[in-house]
Each structure stands twice: as C-alpha cells, then as structure tokens.
Amino acid sequence: MKTKVSLSLVIGAALVGCFLLMLVVSFFYTPFAVNEMRSAERFLPPGRPYLLGTDNFGRDIFSRIMKGTQTAFFVGTLSVLFGMALGISLGALGGYFGGWTDRILTQLGTTIQAFPGVLFALMIVAVWGPGTFNTIVALSITAFPGFMRITRSGFIQIKEYSFVEAAQTIGVSPLKIMLRHILPNLLPSLLVAASNGFAGALLAEAGLSYLGLGVQPPEPSWGRMLNEAQGYLLRAPWYSLAPGIVLVLAVLGFNLLSDGLRDLLDPKQ
C-alpha cells in the first residue's frame, strides 16, 4: 500500500530546507560584517539596507541571524550525533545481553531522565563553565537516555525473532547480529527521534546562551541575541522579535519534520 506524504512532512521539510539554505549561504555571504559596529546606525528599523533592522551597536540583525544559524546547527548536530551514538551503544548492550548489564544501564538512563533536560544541562555547564564545547557535552548527556530507551526496547523485542535466533545458532558473533540484523530495523524510529531531538537541542542551546552559559560573544547566537535585546523591547521591538521568530520557526520545522517522518516511516504508530 502506498504511503501518503503528510502535510507536516512537507511544511517541516520546507522550513528545515530554508534554514539549511541560510546556513550554507552564511559561510560565503552575509549582507554586512557580523560584528561590525556602526554607532551612527543604532536601532534602525527594518527596511533598506537593513532587512531586519540594527541592534544597540548598529550591527545588522539579519547578518547575525544568518551567522547564528551556524552556531545553532553546529551545536544541535553534534549534540544529537553524540547523544545518539552513546544511547544506541548502551541501549544495544542492555537490550541484547540483559541481566545485570541491562539493569545498570537502565538505572543510569532513568536517573538522568529524572532531571528536566534543560535543568540538567544548566547544572553541567554551570559546573564546567560556559562555552560551545561544554554546551555540546551537556546536551549530549541529556539526549542519550531517549535514544537508549528506544534502542533497548527494540533490541529486547527483535532479538526474539526467528532470523536472530537462526544467526545465533550458526555462530554469528553478537556484534554482527546487533549491527546487521537488529539495528537496521530500528533506524526509522531512531531517525524520528533524532529529528525531534534536534529541535530540543536548538531550544536548549538558545536557553543556555540566553542565560550567558552557552555560546560566548562575539559568536552570534539566537539565544544570546534575545538576551541582549530584552532591555530594548519598547525602543526596538524588532531586535527581539527577529531572533525569537527565527527560533520558533526552526523548532517548529524540526518538530513537524519529526511528525511527518513518523507518519511516513511508521504509519501504524
């Protein structure tokens, strides 16, 4: 039966595609220098030549949003990849071998998930110090229990299938069984979780940067821009609206993409 592409997938893919295009373009071109200050052009409203206006230092907001896309996607991508790699590894070990290995790893994941993700990341960054690297590590640690739970439950179920038992009977190594026979069946669910996790990573990075514990100046960050704009809400509302709307659209795009992928890859769910 042919699977129908959902509207969520179309809209989500379109939004994510726009941000990916902005990301690529920002490596080669921005309308103005990102950190160039022009004291005579502070708080200019949106128009020509400043599409989204200027900030309190006379910097072009649109150029900084474009550059901030690099920060958001860099932190989000590495956080999801590291969290996914750790979660899949631990979930596969616990789900396949069971016993005390499974109990220890499950307890570890449950303990981390007992804390709200952003709060746990905030605690880690507060202890280790602010910065891009520590932000990635913190978000990776908060992300891996979700991937571990999906992987573990999938391994527990699939390892009982006849084709896995047949591979065990003829002496195929556990590592090869996990990588060739079980893990490929979990890729659709993991892909959906990765898209959803990316949205969470974008929001968490913006939150940490807003609090001054994430990406540090002079690197542009959407969360940092919101922090800098909060004192000028009445004087220059576009200053906070621009990064705020961009952040909302990015998170919405990945959430819609996640829902669309779930409908496409796992219609029964």
| pLDDT at site 89 | 92
The domains of the chain, with CATH numbers, are 7-265 (1.10.3720.10)
User: Alpha carbon 225 to chain centroid distance?
Assistant: 19
What is the spatial distance between Cα 88 and Cα 146, in angstroms, rounded to a whole number? Answer: 9
| pLDDT at site 138 | 87
Is 222 a residue whose pLDDT tops 60? yes
CB 136 within 8 A of CB 78: yes
- The predicted-structure confidence for 29-46, as pLDDT tens digits, reads as follows 999 988 888 888 888 899
pLDDT band of residue 266 (cuts 50, 70, 90) is low
Q: Which two tokens stand for residue 170?
A: 């003829």
pTM (whole model) above 0.85: yes
User: Which span out of 14-28, 94-108, 149-163 was modeled with the highest average pLDDT?
Assistant: 14-28
pLDDT band of residue 149 (cuts 50, 70, 90) is very high
Of the listed ranges 58-67, 178-187, 198-207, 209-218, the least confidently predicted one is 209-218
| pLDDT at site 4 | 67
Show the CA angle centred on residue 32, arms to residues 30 and 37, nearest 5°: 140
